[in-house]
């Protein structure tokens, strides 16, 4: 029993030591050492991304602490389904340079109003269910790689960097 306990204790101790290093900012210092001297700052890349995205879309929210930006398109109908796009821009370090990573995902709302079972369900709209109005139920359809590349190139152009 004692021999089985020691390796797990050692693994636990090593795990705690690694967590202490991560929390102490050790990884942040490693990232700073990997930076190239002529790289743009993450805040500059995020500001360029914000200005490019705001030229295209109205609903833009920036999260500067996580170097992340989210934008939503207005809801429009395609056929009988409400559709919208969600644009995420993350700032990552690639080979010592801070670069934008753009994701454009298309969503469809497939919400249905809740209904109660029974004989009169659906016959009298004022009596059906607790909440006759459908709540949003957005499901992802696909990534729009063409628009992702267009937005990324526009951000790189705003930063005066060559296109990928």
Of all residues in the chain, the percent with pLDDT exceeding 90 is: 37
Structural domain including 13 reads 1-34
Of the listed ranges 73-82, 106-115, 129-138, the one predicted with least confidence: 129-138
Which positions ≥6 away from 162 have C-beta within 8 Å? 156
Q: How far apart are CA 151 and CA 147, in angstroms?
A: 6
Q: Sign (positive/negative) of CA torsion 157, 161, 162, 164?
A: negative
> What total of structural domains would you count in the chain?
2
Per-residue pLDDT at 111 exceeds 60 = yes
- Tell me if 163 is assigned to some domain: no
Indicate if 93 and 65 belong to the same structural domain: yes
Whole-prediction pTM: 0.67
């Amino acid at each position: 029993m004692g021999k089985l306990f020691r390796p797990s204790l050692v693994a636990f101790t090593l795990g705690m030591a690694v967590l202490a290093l991560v929390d102490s900012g050790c990884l942040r210092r490693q990232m700073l050492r990997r930076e190239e001297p002529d790289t743009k700052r993450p805040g500059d890349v995020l500001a360029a991304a914000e200005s490019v995205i705001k030229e295209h879309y109205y609903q833009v929210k920036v999260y500067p602490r996580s170097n992340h930006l989210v934008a939503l398109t207005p809801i429009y109908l395609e056929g009988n389904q409400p559709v919208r796009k969600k644009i995420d821009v993350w700032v990552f370090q690639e080979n010592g340079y801070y670069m934008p990573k753009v994701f454009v995902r298309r969503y469809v709302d497939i919400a249905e109003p809740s209904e109660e079972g029974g004989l009169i369900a659906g016959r009298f709209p004022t009596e059906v269910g607790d909440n006759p109005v459908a709540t949003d139920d957005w499901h992802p359809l696909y990534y729009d790689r063409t628009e992702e590349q267009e937005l990324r190139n526009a951000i790189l152009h705003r930063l005066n960097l060559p296109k990928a």
